[in-house]
């Protein structure tokens, strides 16, 4: 079986590039303006569109926000929710308010990813797990993220907003639901580690804490320990 896998494997350099994109991807908040060429943006969107989806439902829609007033409106919605989120955090409110959580006004491109109306018609793979439409859209976002990193562009996923208000701002049809505001564009530098880890907000947990053998909580007999 190992020989069979080797026959389908990428070259060593290609493998390293894939893993490099995964490990050096960062949720960026600091952007340096500039622009993203149309052909490059189309490549990134094509990468997103080639994501897997449950039942091949392809539940992703992308709204490219080019209007400055619309960007300012999105920025205001995020700031509104940022304050409410801070208040909900209790003793961590002050620490949260010091974090930079968006780059909507600074990034070269802003894309809103939304789930379309009519998703309930797709039953294949969703009868008992209807949230698989969101999981599929997240795969598309991850594809775009990794492709952007490979192209040298930063991207940040902002989820701090009221979805109904954002849907109204973008005049989405009833049943449409925005799930991500993506800030995309050139950056001065990529963070050496995840920003929230650098800010001591949280840390990446050891892989061994996430992997079980057979039963929940039963530590795996092999694998990474840190």
3-state secondary structure of 157: strand
Predicted confidence (pLDDT) at residue 139 exceeds the cutoff of 60? yes
pLDDT over 90 at 6, yes or no: no
E-strand ranges in 163-203 read 177-185
Give me the mean pLDDT over the 120-131 stretch: 96
Mean of all residue pLDDT scores within the chain: 95
DSSP code of residue 186: -
- Ramachandran assignment for 152, one of left (phi > 0), alpha (psi -120 to 50 degrees), beta (any other): left
* pLDDT at residue 2 tops 80: no
The position carrying tokens 């304050």 is 83
Label residue 5 by pLDDT band (50, 70, 90): confident
> Quick one: pLDDT at residue 226?
40
């Amino acid at each position: 079986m190992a020989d069979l896998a080797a026959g389908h494997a990428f070259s060593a350099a290609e493998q390293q590039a894939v893993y490099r994109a995964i490990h050096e991807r960062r949720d960026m908040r600091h952007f340096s303006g500039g622009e993203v060429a149309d052909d490059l943006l189309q490549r990134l969107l094509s990468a997103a569109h080639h994501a897997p989806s449950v039942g091949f439902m392809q539940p992703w829609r992308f709204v490219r926000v080019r209007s400055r007033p619309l960007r300012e409106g999105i920025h205001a919605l995020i700031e509104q929710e940022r304050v409410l989120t801070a208040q909900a955090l209790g003793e961590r409110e002050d620490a949260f308010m010091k974090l930079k959580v968006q780059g909507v006004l600074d990034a070269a491109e802003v894309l809103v990813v939304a789930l379309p109306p009519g998703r309930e018609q797709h039953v294949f793979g969703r009868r008992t797990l209807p949230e698989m439409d969101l999981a599929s859209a997240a795969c598309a976002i991850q594809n775009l993220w990794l492709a952007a990193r490979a192209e040298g562009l930063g991207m940040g996923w902002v989820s701090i907003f009221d979805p109904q208000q954002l849907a109204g701002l973008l005049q989405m049809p009833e049943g449409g639901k925005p799930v991500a505001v993506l800030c995309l564009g050139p950056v001065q530098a990529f963070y050496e580690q995840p920003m929230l880890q650098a800010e001591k907000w949280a840390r990446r947990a050891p892989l061994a804490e996430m992997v079980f053998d057979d039963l929940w909580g039963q530590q795996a007999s092999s694998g990474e320990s840190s």
